[in-house]
Amino acid sequence: MGAHLPATEFDGTAVDDQREADAEAVMGEPPAQMVQLLGPDGKLGLDPVFTPYAEKISPEALRGLYADMAAIRRFDVEATALQRQGQLALWVPLTGQEAAQIGSGRASQPQDYIFPTYREHGVALTRNVDLAELLRQFRGVSNGGWNPKDTNFHLYTLVLAAQTLHAVGYAMGIQRDQKLAGASGTPDTGQDAAVIAYFGDGASSEGDVHESMVFASSYNAPVVFFCQNNHWAISVPTNVQTRVPLSNRAKGYGFPGIRVDGNDVIAVHAVTEWALEHARQGKGPVLIEAFTYRVGAHTTADDPTKYRQSAEEDAWRAKDPLARVEKYLRSEGLADDGFFAKVKADGDELAAYVRRTTHDLETPDIRSAFANTYAEAHPLVAEELAWFEEYAAGFAGEEPAAAASGQPAAKAGH
């Protein structure tokens, strides 16, 4: 017989156990195992909770999901090439994570607001962000590149996990707008809106993520936490980040956690649609762990051969998210060679556009950085600008524009 725990310290255990059971029943938490609908063999399976959501994806929409994944992979290849050729200062590849991003992004609605990290190029595509605009920041000619108000897709966040706090704050703002609208009897433009916060398995170890989930749970905020577990936080594997599936952490905060095959675009779409509905209906937050893999480097400044085996990469390439959708489309007679040829041609056209636009980007006059520091003129900034202009003028033989921008001017005959 086991030792009896002191009643004075634990006499509320039965109540807490019942409370947890009641909470799980109310949340309608899906099964704990990983959700997969479309396997690597291209065969579609069944799930009692998510198959009804998958069945709403029409053949045309499924072809669209494949086209989006192919387009963003082609874009990723082109952006990597541009960085290698010196046109970008840095690039953050996404190859291998296409299904996680396209599936979740396409499951969102226009009124939903998205908070990305710095790798959500596929989500940006689904939100109609001009992909060439993404490259402004990586070329170093802009602090952002697009207006978030146009697409409800926030600027990239380079500070690890900070966007999760922003997302919860925004979601709490939605709640308050709805309450104010209800109290005044006026229409609420934010009604039935939710927020998605993207982050990686490495960022899950940051305190910001913990604080975000505490606040989201406490205030029942309409936010979906979308963790792309790509197995590597730069050079640290996931099994060092956590001893249990990341989705299990949601239980500690009192909301549903779902692990989904992040290389299965159909399952990702279904799970995200379910989660967003859950949030919009006032049932609180959801954590989605998309179990996927970063096939390439963390950034173009990284060398993954230093910390992982090529056999591991090969094993995940066999689970390629595009290949499994192509197998399904072909086996079901939903797409033919003509469709896939057009997808490839469209990808090449996108790559050409991105390359052309990147080459045409102009380096802004650095004086604008001084002008935009304060709303009004400031003597200290004026002093610093005068110093810089004197410094720039010291480069003999340079054109004024080149000197002011800090860029060396091209010499005649070269």
144 token code pair: 């952002």
74 token code pair: 């082609």
How many percent of the chain have pLDDT more than 70?
86
Compute the average pLDDT of residues 91-108.
98
- Residue 28 is predicted with a pLDDT of 54
**Coil, strand or helix: which one is 203?**
helix
* pLDDT band for position 4 (cuts 50, 70, 90): very low
The separation between CA 411 and the C-alpha centre of its own chain, rounded to angstroms, equals 43
Residue linked to tokens 């146009």: 150
Smallest CA-to-CA distance from 120 within 162, 153, 82, 161 is with: 153
- Residue 26 is predicted with a pLDDT of 52
Long-range contacts of 41-50 (CB under 8 A, 24+ apart): 41/324, 41/327, 42/323, 42/324, 42/325, 42/326, 42/327, 42/328, 42/330, 42/331, 43/328, 43/331, 44/266, 44/328, 47/267, 47/270, 49/274, 50/267, 50/270, 50/271, 50/274
* Phi and psi angles of residue 109, each rounded to the nearest 5 degrees, phi first: -115, 160
172 token code pair: 């709490």
**Coil, strand or helix: which one is 223?**
strand
- Residue 17 is predicted with a pLDDT of 46
pTM above 0.95, yes or no: no
* 151-178: pLDDT as tens digits: 999 999 999 999 999 999 999 999 999 8
Q: Is the pLDDT of residue 254 over 90?
A: yes
Phi-psi region of 255 (alpha: psi -120 to 50; beta: other; left: phi over 0): beta
- Residue 365 is predicted with a pLDDT of 86
- Residue 181 is predicted with a pLDDT of 85
Q: Is the pLDDT of residue 11 over 80?
A: no
H-helix or E-strand containing 51?
helix 51-54
- Residue 48 is predicted with a pLDDT of 94
**Coil, strand or helix: which one is 269?**
helix
Give, in order, the Cα–Cα distances in Å from 154 to each of 186, 222, 300.
27, 17, 23
Q: What is the Cα–Cα distance from 177 to 163, expressed in whole angstroms?
A: 21
> What's the CATH number for 27-360?
3.40.50.970
Q: Is the pLDDT of residue 119 over 90?
A: yes
Q: What is the Cα–Cα distance from 62 to 265, expressed in whole angstroms?
A: 9
- Residue 376 is predicted with a pLDDT of 92
41 token code pair: 């063999």
Residue linked to tokens 């959500």: 120
- Residue 398 is predicted with a pLDDT of 55
* 38-93: pLDDT as tens digits: 999 999 999 999 999 999 999 999 999 999 999 999 999 999 999 999 999 999 99
Catalytic residues: 294, 298, 307
What does the buried/exposed string (b/e) look like for 96-113 if buried means 16 or more CB atoms within 10 Å of the residue's CB? bbbbbbbbbbbbbeeebb
What is the 8-class DSSP label of residue 264?
A: -
Q: Which residues pair with 38 in a beta bridge?
A: 44
Q: Is the pLDDT of residue 341 over 70?
A: yes
Compute the average pLDDT of residues 365-379.
89
- Residue 414 is predicted with a pLDDT of 35
- Residue 1 is predicted with a pLDDT of 39
Burial of residue 12 (number of CB atoms within 10 Å: 0-12, 13-18, 19+): exposed
* pLDDT band for position 25 (cuts 50, 70, 90): low
> Hey, where are the domains in the chain?
27-360, 367-405
The separation between CA 322 and the C-alpha centre of its own chain, rounded to angstroms, equals 18
13/401: higher pLDDT: 401
Dihedral sign of CA atoms 370, 154, 224, 265 in order: negative
* pLDDT band for position 395 (cuts 50, 70, 90): confident
Write down the mean pLDDT value for the chain. 89
Compute the average pLDDT of residues 267-295.
97
